[in-house]
Amino acid sequence: MDWEQEIMSRINSFTGQNPWSVFGSFLQIETAALRSQTLDDIREPMRKEFREQAKGYSLQQMKTFMEIHGILCGEALGNIRNNTYTDMCGRIYHIINMQNSKTGQFFTPQHIADLTSAIAVSEKEIESQIHERGYVKLAEPASGGGAMVLGVAKRMQELGYNPQRQLKVHACDIDKTCCCMTYVQMALYGIPAVVFHGDSLSGKIWDAWPTLDYLMRF
């Protein structure tokens, strides 16, 4: 059984509950848990959010969420070693058909994101930015699950750079669930990032979530 099947089997074990709701709750709980490890001033609010989100689930179900976390961690580590940088959350999101075409949500497949990054992000530009400031600065105005960011990370690693130390990401999405997916994956892949919940077109920002790696690096 591959990692996708492992996660889906656990999501489907929540008898009588909608898979969309289960995965959405997992993402919010996971995000709250990861954010509680960052800044002192948000530690308690995130712990409170974690408790609020967890309230509707049994201890066994919370254990299942922890198992999903473990699967994602293991897959992320293997991806870094193999330079694949898969959009794991986006894959699960797609499998359970959470994307809503009526609101214009269409997720970029990872192989397309990888190809786009390979074409758009030149080796010369990467070298120039690293020489100038020590890192590559990347802005993603509609992050979805973070596939395009992961494509750039893959491109950098192929060229011999370290995206965990030489990539600085500002990612934004208007959909909070997408923000959660991006945040979780940036944290698990160790990519320094700030994820903004906001509207890139209007410039309105409701919240900003720095990862622990971002705070340690920048």
- The pLDDT of residue 209 is 97
Average pLDDT, the chain: 92
- The pLDDT of residue 67 is 98
- The pLDDT of residue 117 is 77
Reply yes or no on whether the pLDDT at 13 is more than 90.
yes
Q: State pLDDT tens for residues 61-73.
A: 999 999 999 999 9
Q: Which one has a higher pLDDT value, 111 or 11?
A: 11
- The pLDDT of residue 104 is 54
151 Cβ neighbours under 8 A, 6+ residues apart: 85, 110, 113, 114, 115, 116, 117, 118
Q: What is the mean pLDDT of residues 75-98?
A: 91
Domain ranges of the chain: 3-98+108-217
Q: State pLDDT tens for residues 173-182.
A: 999 999 999 9
Q: Burial level of 36, CB count in 10 A (0-12/13-18/19+)?
A: middle
Report how far residue 46's alpha carbon sits from residue 110's, in angstroms, rounded to the nearest whole number.
30
Reply yes or no on whether the pLDDT at 204 is more than 90.
yes
Reply yes or no on whether the pLDDT at 99 is more than 70.
no
| Beta carbons of 204 and 194 less than 8 angstroms apart | no
Tokens of 209: 């979530």
